[in-house]
Structure 1
Amino acid sequence: LSTVLRLMNLKAKYGWSYKSFIELLELLKLMLPKDNTLPDRHYEAKKVLYPMGLQYKKIHACPNDCILYRKEFESLRKCPRCGLSRYKVKDDGRSSDEDVVDKGPPAKVLWYLPIIPRFKRLFANATDAMNLTWHADNRKCDGMLRHPVDSPQWKKIDGLFPHFGSEARNLRLGLASDGMNPFGNLSTNHSSWSVLLSIYNLSPWLCMKRKYVILCMMIAGPKQSGNDIDVYL
């Protein structure tokens, strides 16, 4: 498990392609003793990591960001607000925006990465669990604004929800989002939006560390959501 996890971290860190990663797995498997259990396919490696809570969910979305196809909209084939098809319509010159397709690739997808399992893993680590209560146990209290906990907004939330504010381990999260082009310079018109969470319970020198910034959603393009991003939140 630890070997597969480190290999997957290296793949993500250095942007290895699937083909190069598979060839590396095959080479390592040949170098190890005959009865080793190292996976030799990327899919098999992901299956090893699945119990750790690193799974994701694909949720179909309206191309105009009207709705997510979940809960009461899960069985629909077109958007009840704008009427666009849930699935991609072939552009053969005869199709129109009013055409509806019953199956096929979705017109737009939200990739949701569950956050609760990752929070549980943080608290399962003794060092991280101690860091998550830094704002209550170790910060300097001198009346200066040194941390978000010193802000009027933090204190107002504690006043409105005293049961929540009385427990130092309850997480205070900051949300940020920005567009990115996953295709580099190959397609300047494509814009996918990542949604990130930062944990304000941590000390100022830790809360923006890569380890503690959590990717919770990726909103597929090709166009930006703009103010309609509220649908995904």
Structure 2
Amino acid sequence: MYDTLKSDFEQALYPGCSMFTRLSGTLRLFSLKARNGWTDKNFTELLELLKEMLPEDNMLPNRNYEAKKILCPMGLEYKKIHVYPNDCVLYTNDFATLKVCSTCGLSRFKKKIDGSSGEEEIEGPPAKVLWYLPIIPRFKRLLAIKEDARNLTWHENGRKCDKFLRHPADAPQWRGTGEGYAECVAESRNLRIGLATDGMNPYGNLSSKHSSWPVLLVIYNLPP
């Protein structure tokens, strides 16, 4: 993965081009897509046009899917884990191969009628899915960026200490959380995290049966 990213970083967008590499050109275009809210279809049409306009043998991807493959190594991983319908347990580790819940007996998958026979039930999509975003790679990325790493120590080095409450670090509870962990508190870059969760309807429609239950981690080190 690193070798592919390095190769795209070093490869000129087209022969003789000194301003853009395959990686930087794709990244700039994808940034425009994100800022302007272009659809995948719009972006593909733009890439196809630009590829025709550029000199022959250019290395610009011609589809949104190909552009995402180039940028994929720069992203942060996520995992989709199937969940028992009644939230008994996750289909992972020792339970990864199970298709029926050993506790409540419900199927791992939604059932649907086979279109060819019209009678036989076949496995459909998973009944419930957990999107897991591993936190360690995200913490590493945060500490790898100079400005963000500096902000992580703001509560110790940049905060104005007076009688006013502007940040969780100004509260007595902040000092209380470090009791018994002197070594951890001594390093200002160590993260203090709050856990928050609540149900939500992402579509804002009360008649919709779809709902999400995000679990959020809030980093208290950062300035307000």
Name the TM-score class by shorter chain.
0.7 to 0.9
> In 1, Cα distance between the equivalents of 2:153 and 2:126?
42
How far 1:192 sits from its partner (Å)? 2.7
1:17–1:54 distance in 2 versus 1, CA, 3 Å: same
Identity of aligned residues (%): 62
- Which position in structure 1 is the counterpart of 2:106? 84
**What does 1:217-232 align with in structure 2 at a 5 Å threshold?**
none
1:5–1:64 distance in 2 versus 1, CA, 3 Å: farther
SS at match of 1:160: coil
2:210 to 190, 203, 221: 190
What TM-score do you get using the length of structure 1 for normalisation?
Answer: 0.71
How far 1:194 sits from its partner (Å)? 3.6
What TM-score do you get using the length of structure 2 for normalisation?
Answer: 0.74
Runs of 4+ in structure 1 displaced over 6 angstroms? 92-95
Structure 2, unmatched stretches of 5+, are 1-22
1:137 to 139, 154, 157: 157
> In 2, Cα distance between the equivalents of 1:175 and 1:13?
30
Cα deviations across residues 185-210 of structure 1 (Å, max 9, x unaligned)?
A: 69733223444433211111xxxxxx
1:131–1:189 distance in 2 versus 1, CA, 3 Å: same
> In 1, Cα distance between the equivalents of 2:50 and 2:200?
37
> In 2, Cα distance between the equivalents of 1:176 and 1:12?
27
Q: Is the 8 Å Cα contact of residues 158 and 166 (structure 1) preserved in structure 2?
A: no
- Number of aligned residues: 198
- Which position in structure 1 is the counterpart of 2:189? 169
Let me know the Cα RMSD of the aligned residues.
Answer: 3.0
Q: Is the 8 Å Cα contact of residues 181 and 187 (structure 1) preserved in structure 2?
A: no
Work out which of the two has the higher radius of gyration on C-alpha atoms and give 1 or 2. Answer: 2
Cα deviations across residues 9-58 of structure 1 (Å, max 9, x unaligned)?
A: 44445443322222122222222222222222222222212222333211
How far 1:90 sits from its partner (Å)? 1.4
1:42–1:174 distance in 2 versus 1, CA, 3 Å: farther
> In 1, Cα distance between the equivalents of 2:184 and 2:96?
33
Structure 1, unmatched stretches of 5+, are 205-233
> In 1, Cα distance between the equivalents of 2:144 and 2:192?
18
Q: Is the 8 Å Cα contact of residues 78 and 84 (structure 1) preserved in structure 2?
A: yes
One-letter amino acid of the counterpart of residue 102, structure 2: P
Q: Is the 8 Å Cα contact of residues 112 and 124 (structure 2) preserved in structure 1?
A: no
How far 1:105 sits from its partner (Å)? 2.3
1:180 to 198, 201, 204: 201
